[in-house]
Amino acid sequence: MSTSSASARQAALEDILIPARIVPVLTIDRVEDGVPLARALVAGGVRVLEVTFRTDAAADAAKAIIADVPDAIVGMGTVLDGDDLRRALALGAHFAVSPGATPELLDAAAASTLPLLPGVATASEVMQAKARGFNLLKFFPAEQAGGISMLRALAGPFPSTRFCPTGGVHADNVTTWLAEPNVICAGGSWLCPASDIKAGNWEVITGRCIDAMKKLRRR
């Protein structure tokens, strides 16, 4: 990965994630839920969405969102290898997110035009990602990997690295995470739990997003 291309991809990712503050992690079981879910989130002021590759419906749901909800900025999550990264790019995703960072995946990202937010949980994984030009990382699973105390410990040896904590982040602690100087945004599924998606409670999801964004603005 050349320095210029790495920097450009990092800058593109920052432009997406810094204004977002909260990135909902979406596990979509039915294709037909994708568009109304995305519209509900966008109506609540949440535009940057991570659609995980965890279900058979994920790719088609993401494709429909990208086509029919132009205000949504769609990233593909649970990207595990180069094939997933290429699938995300072919779908028209704006970015990709991985739970971890294997050498194979990081090499694939170096050859791709799609910005990747690689997942890390340890200092060694941060070092491997930084060696390939990644200074914006997903901290996952955030609470289970040591929580805010771990993130503060990583800030010492890696002062230029910033994180998106995901995993155990929820309505009651998201503002605490976002107050950390090396955190640019936070991810989680609390804005749209599976029960609300299954029931089609789109107005409830919108209301939850509105409340969350109001809370962030009061900080």
Amino acid 90 reads A
Indicate the average pLDDT of the chain. Answer: 96
215 is catalytic: no
Q: Which residues pair with 117 in a beta bridge?
A: 97
- Tell me how far apart the alpha carbons of residues 89 and 62 are, in angstroms, rounded to a whole number: 12
Q: What is the pLDDT of residues 182-198, one digit of tens each?
A: 999 999 999 999 999 99
Active-site residue among 14, 50, 198, 203? Answer: 50
Exactly one of 32, 104, 138, 198 is catalytic; name it. 138
Interatomic CA distance for residues 80 and 32, integer angstroms: 25
The CATH number linked to 116 is 3.20.20.70
Active site residue 125: no
What count of other Cβ atoms lies within 10 Å of the Cβ of residue 199?
10
User: For 163-177, what is each residue's pLDDT tens digit?
Assistant: 999 999 999 999 999
Give tens-digit pLDDT for 46-85.
Answer: 999 999 999 999 999 999 999 999 999 999 999 999 999 9
Report the predicted TM-score, pTM, of the whole model to 2 decimal places.
0.95
Q: How many domains does the chain fold into?
A: 1
Q: Which residues pair with 41 in a beta bridge?
A: none
Per-residue pLDDT band at 4 (split at 50, 70, 90): low
Domain that residue 37 falls in: 3-217
Give the contacts of 68 (CB within 8 A, at least 6 positions apart).
35
* Angle, CA 74 vertex, CA 184 and CA 214 arms, to 5°: 50
Number of helical (H) and strand (E) elements in the chain, helices listed first: 10, 9
